[in-house]
Structures are given as structure tokens and as C-alpha cells.
Structure 1
Amino acid sequence: MLHYDVRVKLEAPFDYCRIFHLPDNPTIASFTRLLWYGYDEEGPSVYRQDPKTGEVVRIDFLRA
């Protein structure tokens, strides 16, 4: 697991088209740099970084 500053849980299933498209959520709109995606011990997730501040967000999806 990577270090993250913000964690967001989405009520959406994980599929690969969601990796490259940010959800319509103003909290995470600035996190545009994709760092990692896939499954870890907590389930499917995407890690993105805000290139201006360096903060990282973890976006969790529903388990398949």
C-alpha cells in the first residue's frame, strides 16, 4: 500500500475505464497524476497525486 493523504470511497464497481477518468467529485478534482491502480489487501483502488501540492488520494471502489 502506498502512503496517501486523502481517502475517498465510491459507491461504484471497479472497472478499467474508471482508472483514467476522474469521478465528478470536487474534493479530488486536482488529483490528476495517476500513480497506481489495481487490487491490494483492502480491495480495488486507484492512487492519484496532485502535481502542485504532492498530496496523494486513494480512491476505493466496491469489491467485485
Structure 2
Amino acid sequence: VVEEEEATQPESPPLGQEVEEATPLTGSPQMELLSRVVTADLAPAVRQRRDELSIMDYNESLPEL
């Protein structure tokens, strides 16, 4: 069991490096373009959903008043 623990320890630092190497991808032009396209497509649905939620919240708040 001790030998297995010693074998797994050297693997932990590379995992941390992989995470550090993966983080810059979020700031890449491709990710920014992808996020812009996704937000552009979701904007109408999000606005509609927000309107529905605001109406629901308003109707639900009436009995409390």
C-alpha cells in the first residue's frame, strides 16, 4: 500500500500543471468568439424568460401585499 501511495504522489504535480495550462484557453480568441455566438443566440430566450419570471414574481408578490 505504501508503494502505491509513493507512485501516486509524483502524478499530482503534473495534474496541477495541466490545470494551469488549460486556464489560458478561456481567454483565447476562439473561446471569446464562441461565447459571443452563444450569448447572441441565447439573448432573446433569456430576455423572454426574464420577462416571464418578472411577471411570475409580480403575480406571486400580490397576495403578500
Structure 2 length as normaliser, TM-score? 0.20
TM-score, normalised via structure 1 length: 0.20
More helix by share: 2
Whose strand proportion is higher, 1 or 2? 1
Q: Select the structure of larger CA radius of gyration.
A: 2
* Structure with greater contact order relative to length (CA < 8 Å, sep ≥ 6): 1
